[in-house]
Amino acid sequence: MLDIKFVRMNPEIVKENIKKKFQDDKLPMVDEVIELDQRNRDIKQEVEALRAQKNKISKQIGACMAQGKREEAEELKHHVQENADRIEQLSTEEKEVEAKIKKIMMTIPNIIDDSVPIGKDDSENVEIEKFGEPVVPEYDIPYHTEIMESFNGIDLESAGKVAGNGFYYLMGDIARLHSAVISYARDFMIDRGFTYCVPPFMIRSNVVTGVMSFAEMDAMMYKIEGEDLYLIGTSEHSMIGKFIDTMLTEDQLPQTLTSYSPCFRKEKGSHGIEERGVYRIHQFEKQEMIVVCKPEESKKWYDVLWKNTVDLFRSLDIPVRTLECCSGDLADLKVKSCDVEAWSPRQKKYFEVGSCSNLGDAQARRLGIRVRGENGNKYFAHTLNNTVVAPPRMLIAFLENNLQEDGSVKIPEVLRSYMGGKTEIKRN
């Protein structure tokens, strides 16, 4: 969310940013919110003047009463009551105006970084760099659920009976591999200096609206009926929410946390054949990383975060690339974002396995995450997040890239201690 003062002083910059995101329907909101802001300031000014007048008249009433001028005092009391009625009327209007301002301000997109490429949607995202040599073996790579089924490692049919489409049972060595990847990712991030945390898996509505846009909220979140609680779609929401309404000191920054959680998503809409199986599902587990830092340090941390994910995938012998998200593919709160994509030897292309985002002070402004500087000045922190690893999507990349011609799957050395010393898993 932008600062209303910035919008007031830079309306053309805000409008140009909206155009870069191809959201022209939001352009009238800029003028509307500026008009509302002016009305809000006019109300405050009038209320302040009425209160000053009320205090002045109250003193006059006291003087009149002391002098025995009762009629004059009563007339002054009538003026005080008129002032009080007007103040109450203005206060009601003020709340209504401020609610409208907040709603619009939470809809106007954040100012994107100058380095973000301009494009309408994810088809115009730009490749940044490749890491590792993508390989296509001479033998066929089956669809990921077929690989899992060859190890008796997945049961979609039973999951469909129990919970419906978009759920799964992982079994045996595949389930163990899933847990091994999560545990390895946890230790990988701890070794890089991040504090490990298991957060709440449900959050209140004020946290939801603090960390994401209304459009994202509607598309992703499951609401708990009859309660002000939502199941988290990703643990970064709960992790950033940890700092709601806090005043941090500069010596407490940066806050670098890595978290484990299950995640729950609606995943609305129709999906292609490559998004069947366990690629796009309603429930999965995830290792996440978040940073709360000084504004001048957020660009540095952005690079640190996405590199962590690249390094983790490369340690598992999985080729990856980074993709710069274009303006039209950025969620409204994001300043800058890149996807990490893993190589699929079956599809002979890369697919998304994680996303790194710098949100500037947008989340901090919504949630009230402030910092007190050494000189006493107060400002909003910057927040960032990135996926460390999210099985089972990551399992797709792992199984395809480590599948051998005989149908076994090799276990990279870094994972073997988490798999009971196994160097491979074999078909039953």
Res 323: pLDDT: 97
> If you ran DSSP here, which 8-state letter would residue 151 be given?
T
The C-alpha atoms of residue 362 and residue 380 are separated, in whole angstroms, by 9
pTM of the model: 0.90
pLDDT band for 273, please (50, 70, 90 cuts): low
Cα angle vertex 413, ends 410, 419, to 5°? 70
For residue 28, is the peptide bond before it cis, meaning its omega torsion is within 30 degrees of 0? no
- Find out whether 213 and 334 touch, Cβ atoms under 8 Å: no
Domains and CATH numbers, the chain: 4-105 (1.10.287.40), 122-425 (3.30.930.10)
Is the pLDDT assigned to residue 65 strictly greater than 80? no
Share of the chain above pLDDT 70, in %: 98
The tokens for 171 are 């079994």
Phi-psi group of 413: left, alpha or beta (phi > 0 → left; psi -120 to 50 → alpha; rest → beta) = alpha
Is the pLDDT assigned to residue 270 strictly greater than 50? no
Q: What are phi and psi of 409, to 5 degrees?
A: -125, 120
- Average pLDDT estimate for 131-138: 95
pLDDT band for 60, please (50, 70, 90 cuts): confident
